Amino acid sequence: MSSHTFVLNGEKVTVDVEPGVRLLWVLRDVLGVTGPKYGCGINVCKACTSHLNGKAVNPCSVPVEKISEDDEITTIEGLADTVDADLHPMQEAWIEHDVAQCGYCQPGQIMAAVALVRKVRREGRAISEADLDGIRNICRCGTYTRIREAIRSGEQNM
């Protein structure tokens, strides 16, 4: 076992796990943070999308030893805290547009959407259709039209 320290949703945490354990299992099984969903485990479905230092990552593909003490992991559980509100504007947009059906992929979808809005803002532009096409998170229920509408609405309120 080795010790790994990082910031999770604004709080410094330390875990003792075997080398090679993926961050998703550390979050879910060791720390009890279940917002990032296990879908495929091979960085394809993106149900586990979270933020690492503000950028979208898939913790199922990140060995915990690649995370440093200063790295900040944000999951859906900590997203609203980034704007000091009960819900993040993107979460509010999801509700407004009635996006969720089964809901399984939605935390990852929302985290990918927030990262995209932040990225295009840093670039000084708005989200384009090509940007929306670039989101590769899988929704098994097929609510892609509502997801796109919610992202555009959430972008306006972020």
pLDDT for res 19: 84
DSSP per-residue codes, 61-78: G-BGGG--TT-EEE-HHH
- Burial pattern 7-30, b for ≥16 Cβ within 10 A else e, equals bbbeeebebebeeebbbbbbbbee
User: How many angstroms separate the CA atoms of 36 and 46, rounded?
Assistant: 9
**Taking residues 53-60, what's their average pLDDT?**
97
pTM listed for this prediction: 0.96
pLDDT for res 155: 97
User: How many angstroms separate the CA atoms of 118 and 127, rounded?
Assistant: 10
pLDDT for res 29: 97
pLDDT digits (tens, 9 = 90+) for 98-137: 999 999 999 999 999 999 999 999 999 999 999 999 999 9
Q: Which two tokens stand for residue 14?
A: 């330390």
Q: What percentage of the chain has pLDDT greater than the value 70?
A: 100
**The total number of residues written for the chain in this structure:** 158
Q: Write the CA distances from 53 to 10, 42, 99, integer angstroms.
A: 11, 21, 27
pLDDT digits (tens, 9 = 90+) for 25-56: 999 999 999 999 999 999 999 999 999 999 99
